Structure 1
Amino acid sequence: MFRTTTDGRWHVRTMWTAWLGLALVAGCGAEPVPVKPAAVRAPVKAARCFLKYPDVRAGHAARARLERDIAHYVGDRPGRIVYAAVDLVSGVSLGQGRHDGDLITASGAKVDILAALLQRRDGRLDEHERDLASRMITESDNSAADALWSRVGGGAAMGDFYRRIGLKETTPGPSSYWGGTKTSPADRIRLMKVLVKGGKGLSSADRALLLGLMEQVRREQAWGVSAAARPGDRVALKNGWTPRPFVQKTWAVTSYGRVVGPGRDLLLSVQTDRQPGEGTGIQTIEGIARLIGSRLDSLTPTISRPCPTKPTF
């Protein structure tokens, strides 16, 4: 209730004050109106352009260091040691005594036997021959090698095969002695190139069969050039090892094959002779393979430079 004066001024002033109070009370209890921030765009950074160029000087220096380290390693090992390596991706090649063709390959010749038989038969092997081939490569079965050496035609036929395929530094073993086949690291690389790239009368199916068997070599026989592999690389190899009682009771130990993975397709052959034992030969081969495999990428370094800002004509 509001009191009213005779002239009505008290009533109007009181009503105005009351309404103002109600408005203040209502305003105090209301939620604040949220303010939506304005969107702000982050500044866009333009990506810088770089080009990669071969660092030839650094590559030559890395190669010299690797060859020096291998030579030092070989110099501290017994017997005779030769090797050859070619990377089909980068084109890098290394070697020492790569054309020495008077070292016996022992069981390494078993790949030659199967390649010659496939070429001779246009890839048509019967079921028994395929079983012999599998045992000869994956298990290094000597009886299987004897049988297939005979079916190829022995040493004379193998000599013809080597001429056709272009292995000029390989001589078949005498008579039925396929293990006496002599070869060079360079010829082992030539053979692997044929298996990888094709030609020389071997079909893609023939090559797939051979390389597939070389990838399935038993674990206990998968030593050697496999030491060059990185985790995840695929390895196809064949090893040879034999005592030589008439050569100061020493051993010949060999390993060759392919190590392929991201950025590389390495063909590698290491041959040793006059070794005091099989284990010593294996250690030597794996030491060389490990040096090459771990440092192969350093032989083709690159340098990055900014792209030209103005086109050249």
Structure 2
Amino acid sequence: MLFRPFSPRRPETAGGRRRKRTTVCAGVLLASVTGLLSAGALHSAPADAATSPAKTAASSAGAHTPAGSPAPVHPQGRTRVTAAVLDLDGTGREPTVHGADTRYDTASIVKVDILAAVLLQAQDAGRPLTAPERAHADAMIRHSDNAAATALWRQIGGARGLEAANKRLGLTATKGGPGLLWGLTQTTARDQIRLLRAVFDTVPAGHAGAPALRADSRQYIRMLMTRIDKDQAWGVSAAAASGWALKNGWLQRTTTGLWDINSIGQITVNKHRYLVAVLSDGSTSMKDGIALVQGAARNAVRSVSGH
């Protein structure tokens, strides 16, 4: 069974998670040092993550936009949001896009793309994923673990490996983040729909337009996207009627204090499967960004589905 019902449970905020972990260490942050240096911002962390005050300072330094980064910096209060929707059971193959289809930071939604690249490389080598690769994939998608993402990012060859895979997956506007800063990968909502098509499309192998990923590889990604942690059950799933599979990303830019909040996935409405990608930046809090993304997802799906 690929999907599970959307839970209306309100997502936990970053502050809520820290309060829960005060018994571990007063210096606990949302992400490990490796994750912060990789993503350039705060992401969810594995349950056992803890950092010392010295590491906290290093993490904060890593959260700033690096010199030469392609990521845009926007003035305070200038929020942007773009939503793209494709009816996977309809006749069209191009998404409906609401808002300017310009590039945004991916934050952790790039983890789906990273896993797709890992699977393509394994396919090329004629082998299944190893046990360590599966462990990293599970942690990266289900728990949004940053250390696991960094390990797989290194394995695929960083931005160069991601972009090589994306050529085969049909993405045309996604640029990998510099160095280990995979969270600063740049993408568009339309390109994220292309990625979702590569994962969720059902065109048989050998047919024109068939995905580069094998059926078992696509099934593996879909399975992980239906089993994410409960506190991450927000985003495009807010527009679902009966089932969803998703990956979210959240990142606070310390150069501005503003938040990038993104969500991608497949939802089901009236027995139709919709691929939905919502990208945003400039929110003054994670809570506001989530509300913005969920509202944009609902409106975009309603405009296409009529419900």
TM over 0.5: yes
| Deviation sequence 1:64-98 (CA, Å, 0-9, x none) | xxxxxxxxxxxxx9601111111122347432235
Are the equivalent residues in 2 in contact too, given 1:98–1:186 (CA < 8 A)? no
Counterpart Cα distance in 2 of 1:95 and 1:155: 26
Q: Percent identity of the aligned residues?
A: 35
1:204 paired with 2:206, answer no
Counterpart Cα distance in 2 of 1:78 and 1:294: 25
1:119 paired with 2:120, answer yes
| CA gap 1:97/1:297 in 2 versus in 1, 3 angstroms | closer
1:140 paired with 2:151, answer no
Instruction: Determine which of 246, 258, 268 is the counterpart of 1:250.
Output: 258
1:193 paired with 2:197, answer yes
Give the equivalent residue in structure 2 for 1:94: 96
Are the equivalent residues in 1 in contact too, given 2:199–2:211 (CA < 8 A)? no
Unaligned runs of 5+ in 2: 1-76, 204-209
Taking the TM superposition and a 5 Å limit, the aligned residue runs for 1:22-61 are none
Give the equivalent residue in structure 2 for 1:165: 169
Instruction: Give 1:165 shift.
Output: 1.6
Counterpart Cα distance in 2 of 1:157 and 1:95: 28
Counterpart Cα distance in 1 of 2:166 and 2:304: 30
Counterpart Cα distance in 2 of 1:178 and 1:269: 19
Give the equivalent residue in structure 2 for 1:270: 278
Are the equivalent residues in 2 in contact too, given 1:135–1:144 (CA < 8 A)? yes
TM-score by length of 1: 0.66
1:287 paired with 2:298, answer no
Are the equivalent residues in 1 in contact too, given 2:81–2:281 (CA < 8 A)? yes
Are the equivalent residues in 1 in contact too, given 2:84–2:300 (CA < 8 A)? no
Are the equivalent residues in 1 in contact too, given 2:88–2:274 (CA < 8 A)? yes
Point out the structure with max Rg over C-alpha.
1
Match of 1:156, SS state, is: helix
Instruction: Determine which of 207, 217, 220 is the counterpart of 2:228.
Output: 217
TM-score by length of 2: 0.67
Give the equivalent residue in structure 1 for 2:111: 110
Instruction: Determine which of 226, 229, 233 is the counterpart of 2:240.
Output: 229
Match of 1:274, SS state, is: strand
1:240 paired with 2:249, answer yes
| Aligned-pair Cα RMSD in Å | 1.9
Unaligned runs of 5+ in 1: 1-76, 300-313
What is the aligned residue count?
A: 219
Counterpart Cα distance in 1 of 2:91 and 2:248: 25
| CA gap 1:289/1:91 in 2 versus in 1, 3 angstroms | farther
Give the equivalent residue in structure 1 for 2:72: none
Match of 2:261, SS state, is: strand
> What is the identity, as a one-letter code, of the residue corresponding to 1:86?
L
Are the equivalent residues in 1 in contact too, given 2:236–2:263 (CA < 8 A)? yes
